[in-house]
């Protein structure tokens, strides 16, 4: 923690962007958290809604261009990807080879703000330990929500003020991404698969069951929207308010979405961003 705090303070000597994971409403107040982060020294503060939108487009294009693929497994969760690679290597071929919203948003920000540092804050330890190190060229530092909260407290900075807006490119329904099934719902994959072909699953005990069924060819599903933590990313282990129930966490996300849906803004050009390479490999 102390090392990452020192890294952050060093990064903040130059213009720096903070990307907040979409589960942030569980731990922070909107829009007050934006003001707090700017008081800390961030030049810009964004959410990942536009990055998530581009991931959705990538998934849609992938499904369209690979209609004969037997199964499709989502890949934004680094723990799920690591689990498949280590325990079920024969299923790697079914992982959709596109980056997560974190990486997609970082790539977009690098395009528009090439001289800024980029810091990501989330409730996910795997983003910090597994995924971000693979993208050191675009993501300078990853903090957990617990670490970010402690840094704000150490600096005596409180969430206050309401006259703040995210420096985001897109604000829309992808705010529900951290809830289990958020990707499948917002990408409207029911336009490509029957409802009974789409599997929404989280937690290892459920994932193992589905992976075993894919391996044995006994599953009825074709598209698997999977996340490791209970309830999805809203169950991340580095949440400050991790003791809230799954229902309470979902409520935080849905209330934030509802409160901001009338202020949608589209400052990003979807067609232009399709020129960015959002592909990856496993």
Does residue 158 have a pLDDT over 90? yes
Q: Point out which residues pair with 117 in neighbouring strands.
A: 16
pLDDT at 7 over 90: yes
The stretch 33-49 carries a mean pLDDT of: 96
The pLDDT value recorded for residue 262 is 66
Residue of 56, 8, 23 whose CA lies nearest to 191: 56
Helix, strand, coil percentages for the chain (3-state, nearest 5): 50, 15, 35
Angle 197-232-37 (CA atoms, 0-180°, nearest 5)? 140
Identify which has the larger pLDDT, 33 or 271. Answer: 33
For residues 147 and 4, give the distance between their C-alpha atoms in angstroms, rounded to a whole number: 9
Taking CA 7 as the corner, what is the angle to CA 44 and CA 151, rounded to the nearest 5 degrees? 70
The C-alpha angle with vertex 224 and arms to 93 and 218, in degrees rounded to 5, equals 80
Q: For residue 10, what are the contacts with CB-CB under 8 A and spacing of at least 6?
A: none
Give the separation between CA 128 and CA 4, rounded to whole angstroms.
Answer: 11
Please state, in angstroms and rounded to a whole number, the distance separating the CA atoms of residues 225 and 232: 10
* Virtual torsion, Cα 1, 86, 180, 241, nearest 10 deg: -20
Asked whether residue 265 carries a pLDDT value surpassing 70, the answer given is: no
Q: What is the pLDDT of residue 181?
A: 97
For 236-274, give the DSSP string.
Answer: -TT-TTTTS-HHHHHHHHHHHHHHHGGG--B-S-HHHHT
Confidence of residue 1 (pLDDT cuts 50, 70, 90): low
Q: Full-prediction pTM beyond 0.75?
A: yes
CA gap 148, 167 in Å, rounded: 19
Q: Which long-range contacts (CB under 8 A, 24 or more apart) does 261-264 make?
A: 261/172, 263/171, 264/171, 264/172
- The DSSP symbol for 177 reads T
On whether the CB atoms of residues 183 and 99 are closer than 8 A, the answer is no
């Amino acid at each position: 923690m102390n090392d990452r705090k020192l890294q952050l303070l060093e990064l903040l000597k130059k213009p720096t962007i903070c990307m907040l994971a979409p589960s942030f409403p569980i731990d922070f107040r909107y829009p007050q958290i934006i003001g707090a982060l700017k008081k800390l020294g961030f030049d810009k503060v964004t959410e990942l809604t536009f990055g998530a939108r581009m991931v959705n487009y990538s998934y849609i294009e992938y499904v369209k261009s690979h209609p004969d693929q037997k199964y499709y497994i989502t890949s934004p969760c680094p723990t799920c990807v690591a689990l498949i690679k280590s325990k079920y290597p024969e299923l790697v071929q079914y992982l959709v080879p596109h980056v997560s919203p974190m990486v997609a948003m970082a790539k977009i920000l690098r395009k528009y703000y090439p001289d800024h540092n980029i810091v990501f804050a989330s409730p996910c330890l795997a983003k910090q330990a597994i995924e971000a190190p693979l993208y050191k060229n675009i993501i300078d530092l990853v903090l957990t929500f617990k670490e970010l909260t402690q840094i704000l407290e150490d600096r005596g900075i409180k969430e206050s003020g309401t006259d703040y807006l995210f420096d985001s490119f897109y604000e829309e329904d992808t705010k529900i991404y951290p809830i289990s099934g958020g990707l499948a719902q917002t990408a409207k994959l029911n336009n490509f698969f029957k409802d009974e072909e789409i599997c929404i699953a989280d937690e290892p005990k459920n994932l193992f069951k589905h992976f075993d069924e894919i391996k044995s060819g006994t599953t009825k599903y074709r598209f698997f929207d999977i996340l490791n933590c209970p309830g999805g990313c809203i169950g991340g282990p580095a949440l400050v308010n991790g003791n809230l129930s799954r229902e309470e966490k979902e409520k935080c996300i849905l209330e934030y979405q509802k409160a901001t849906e009338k202020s949608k803004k589209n400052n990003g050009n979807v067609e232009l961003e399709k020129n960015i390479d959002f592909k990856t490999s496993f």
